[in-house]
Amino acid sequence: MVLIGPSGCGKTTTLRMINRLIEPTSGRIEIQGEDVTDLPATDLRRGIGYVIQQVGLFPHRTIEANIATVPRTLGWDRSRIRARVEELVEVVGIDREMLARYPDELSGGQQQRVGIARALAGDPDYMLMDEPFGAIDAITRSALQGEILRLQQQLQKTILFVSHDVDEALRLGDRIIVMNAGRIVQFDTPFNLLTQPASPFVHELLGADDMVRQLGLLPVNAAMMQLPDHYQNGNKPVVNAVDNLRDALSLILKTGAPELSVVKDGEPVGLLTLEHIRNCAVEANR
């Protein structure tokens, strides 16, 4: 779930009220039906992973000690903590040799991976992420976004993610909350937000006229043509059925090929042309 909107609209405030870094002044925030204000704040926060843009690692502790922070406060024994650290090193892609280093010896992207590992260390059901990649270069940011998608699929955590980057929100979000002036303007899927914006504000914020952006949300198998009988692939460029049409369009433009071979689990299942992509985009905007 991604919260997006202009600066000052309430995204971070909403996030911080969930783990009571900011106390709600009215209304209710519930986790599994229980009001967060009825829980001890410390216990609440230990059960929620929290990742921020500045990472917030303890500079005087090694990377291993940083990751072990929450398990240690939960009273885990040393062997269990060590096993959890070893597990997370694999999960988030941290080199083991980094465990003995200190935060200032790591790059920004490496520090952010450590921050994610630390947030996951206590095995929380929920993760709060407040613009965690905002201060990182574009290449590293894209890689970390891919890691978050992989981790979410692998670990099945509920993630509430604040972003100011529309493309990041569209890439990561199963659902997106668009906020403005402290209110929710629209809560929907990325595709519905682009094709059925609830207001001119949402339309302008997300760039709903950008058809290429919409293609990034449509899978190849939504536009492909089924294979004819006795099909021979030849030397056609190959695209995966679950890839998006934006990537497929890029491949067509790069190779100049009149059509792409669509594969699933390594087997050809369809064909895709520029006309198929165009027709799918037009249909999506009707």
> In the chain, what percentage of residues exceed pLDDT 90?
55
What CATH number should be reported for the domain holding residue 228?
A: 3.90.1280.20
**Same domain as 221, residue 201:** no
| Whether residue 140 is found in the same domain as residue 273 | no
| pLDDT, the chain, mean | 90
Regarding whether 159 and 63 lie in a shared domain, the answer is: yes
Asked whether residue 236 falls in the same domain as residue 275, the answer is: yes
Are 133 and 151 in a shared domain? yes
246 in the same domain as 195? no
**pLDDT for residue 127:** 93
The domain boundary, picked from 190, 208, 226, lies at: 208
Q: Identify whether residues 197 and 135 lie together within a single domain.
A: yes
Query: Quick one: average pLDDT of 103-122?
Result: 90
Note whether 158 and 135 are same-domain residues: yes
Domain that holds residue 43: 2-208
Q: Give the number of domains in the chain.
A: 2
Domain boundary among 208, 234, 266: 208
Together in a domain, 179 and 231: no
Mean of the pLDDT values across residues 56-71? 91
pLDDT at site 284: 75
The CATH number covering residue 158 comes to 3.40.50.300
Q: Whole-angstrom Cα distance, residue 149 to residue 171? A: 9
Average pLDDT over residues 164-180: 93
Whether the pLDDT of residue 82 is over 90: the answer is yes
pLDDT at 277: 92
Is 268 or 3 the better-scoring residue by pLDDT? Answer: 3
Between 58 and 232, the more confident residue is 58
Among the candidates 158, 184, 208, a domain finishes at 208
Residues 245 and 121 in one domain: no
Same domain? For 229 and 120 the reply is: no
Those residues with Cβ within 8 angstroms of residue 43's Cβ, 6 or more apart along the chain or in another chain: none
Together in a domain, 97 and 236? no
Q: What's the confidence (pLDDT) of residue 283?
A: 81
Asked if pLDDT for residue 233 goes beyond 70, the answer is no
pLDDT at 29 over 70: yes
